[in-house]
């Protein structure tokens, strides 16, 4: 169960970034203060997400996101290096440009469809790296 919740939380967290506004990408690139919230739905599950860029802590940019779904609050805290920020924002900008000239909509109908999104893939890479991101709120799940 814990592995499933972690996967869903990671995907929902990353999906929220697919719909990220340009000012989020700019704020992440500069590691400047930012707060936004929204609702994402996948596989019939609705999740509320609040993301914050808190600024630099030493040589790392602190990003925090709280996701609420199925009565649970899961918080992810990431501390990104400058090179990780460059990769994340480059993929988000490239994807945004493709979407601008494409008739395709972002498919959030299932977890597998979401996981194929390039923005989700790059975020998942860091979400699953315990030296970059950590999650809290999963206590007691097996």
In a domain, 141, yes or no: no
- Per-residue pLDDT tens, the chain, 142 aa: give them: 455 555 666 666 666 666 667 889 999 999 999 998 888 776 677 778 888 999 999 999 999 988 887 778 888 899 999 999 999 999 988 887 777 787 766 666 666 666 677 788 888 888 889 999 998 876 544 4
In a domain, 31, yes or no: yes
In a domain, 142, yes or no: no
**Strand residue runs (E) in 58-125:** 60-69, 72-80
| The total number of structural domains that make up the chain | 1
Give the domain range for residue 99: 2-136
**Integer Cα distance of 16 and 33 in angstroms:** 18
């Amino acid at each position: 169960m814990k592995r499933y919740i972690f996967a869903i939380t990671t995907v929902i967290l990353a999906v929220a970034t697919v719909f990220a506004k340009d000012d989020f990408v700019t704020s992440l690139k500069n590691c400047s203060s930012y707060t936004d919230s929204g609702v994402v739905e996948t596989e019939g599950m609705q999740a509320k997400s609040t993301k914050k860029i808190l600024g630099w802590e030493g040589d790392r940019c602190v990003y925090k996101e709280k996701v609420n779904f199925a009565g649970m609050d899961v918080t992810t805290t990431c501390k990104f290096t400058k090179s990780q920020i460059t990769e994340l924002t480059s993929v988000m900008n490239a994807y945004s440009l493709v979407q601008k000239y494409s008739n395709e909509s972002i498919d959030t109908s299932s977890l597998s469809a979401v996981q194929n999104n390039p923005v989700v893939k790059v975020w998942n890479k860091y979400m699953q790296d315990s030296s970059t991101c950590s999650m809290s709120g999963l206590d007691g799940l097996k």
